[in-house]
Chains A and B, each alone.
Chain A
Amino acid sequence: MTDATQNNADDNDLDTTIYDELPDAPPKKRLKLSWTGKIGVAVVAFWLVIVVIGPWISPFHEADIIGDDSFMGIWTSTEGEGVHILGTDYLERDIFSRIMWGARMTIGISVLATLLAYLIGVTAGIAAAVKRGWIDMVLSRVNDAILSLPTIMLGLLIVVALGSSIPILIGTAAIIYASSVFRIARAFGQEIMVMDYVESAQARGETIWWIIFREVLPNAAMPLATDFGLRLVFVVLFISSLSFLGLGIQPPAADWGSMVRQNLEGLQYGSLAPVWPALAIASFTIAINLIVDDISAKSGGDLARKMIS
Chain B
Amino acid sequence: MKNPNDNLPTIENLSVVDQQRIESGLRHGATRREVMGWLIAAGATIAGAGSIVTSATNALAMSPKKGGKITFASDLHGPNDTLDPGLNTSTIDYTRGRSFYNSLCQINDDLSTRPELAEEYSANADNTEWTFKLRKGVKFHDGSDFTADDVLFTMSRHYGEKSTSTAKTLVADVKEWKKVDSHTVKAIMKGPNADLPVILGTPQFKMLKNGTTDFQTANGTGPFTLEEFKPGVRSIGRKNKNYWREGAHVDEIEITAITDKVARTSAFLSGDIDLMQALDPKAIKKVEATDGVGVWSVASGAYFGICAMTHTAPGNNPHFVKAMQYIQRRKKIVKSILKGQGTVGNDHPINVAYGADHCSEMVQKEHDLDKAKFHLQKSGITAAELNVAEVAPGITDISLLAQREAQKIGLDLQIKKVPNDGYWGAVWMKTPLNVVTWNMRPTANVMLNLAFAPDAPWNDTLWKSEAFGKLLIEVRGVTDAAKRHEMYCTMQKMIAEGTDDFPGSGMIIPAHRNYVDGKSDKIEGIGRMPLGSLGGYEWPEFAWRTDV
Contact = CB atoms under 8 A, between A and B. Distances in A.
A159 B419 CA distance: 9
Interface string B196-228: 000000000000000000000000000000000
A6 to B, nearest CB: 48
A271 to B, nearest CB: 10
B283 A268 contact: yes
A70 interface: yes
A66 B403 CA distance: 14
B269 A246 contact: no
A71 B419 contact: no
Interface in A49-105: 63-66, 68-71, 79-81, 90-92
Nearest to A245: B419
A265 B417 contact: no
Given A79-B4, A252-B400, A269 B286 contact: yes
Contacts of A63: 400, 403-404
A108 interface: no
Main secondary structure of the interface of A (DSSP, over half): loop
Interface residues of A, number: 29
B233 to A, nearest CB: 19
B66 interface: no
B261 A265 contact: yes
B227 to A, nearest CB: 32
Interface residues of B, number: 31
Nearest to B399: A251
A160 interface: yes
A165 to B, nearest CB: 9
Given A70-B336, A160-B422, A91 B400 contact: yes
Given A63-B403, A245-B419, A80 B262 contact: no
B282 A269 contact: yes
A269 B265 contact: no
Contact of A160 (B4, B282, B415, B421): B421
Contacts of A159: 419
Nearest to B420: A246
Given A68-B5, A269-B285, A252 B419 contact: no
Given A91-B397, A265-B261, A265-B280, A250 B336 contact: no
Contacts of A163: 416, 418
A160 B427 CA distance: 12
Contact of A250 (B5, B265, B269, B416): B416
Interface of B: 1, 4-5, 261-262, 265-266, 269, 280, 282-283, 285-286, 336-337, 389-390, 396-397, 400-401, 403-404, 415-422
Given A65-B404, A245-B419, A265-B261, 12 more contacts: A63-B403, A79-B4, A80-B1, A80-B4, A81-B1, A91-B337, A164-B417, A251-B396, A252-B403, A268-B262, A268-B266, A269-B283
Task: Please list the 4 inter-chain residue pairs (A to B) with the smallest Cβ-Cβ separation, ordered nearest first.
Answer: A265-B262, A269-B286, A264-B262, A160-B419
18 contacts: A63-B400, A63-B403, A63-B404, A65-B401, A68-B5, A90-B282, A91-B397, A164-B418, A245-B419, A246-B420, A247-B419, A250-B416, A265-B262, A265-B265, A265-B282, A268-B265, A269-B283, A269-B286
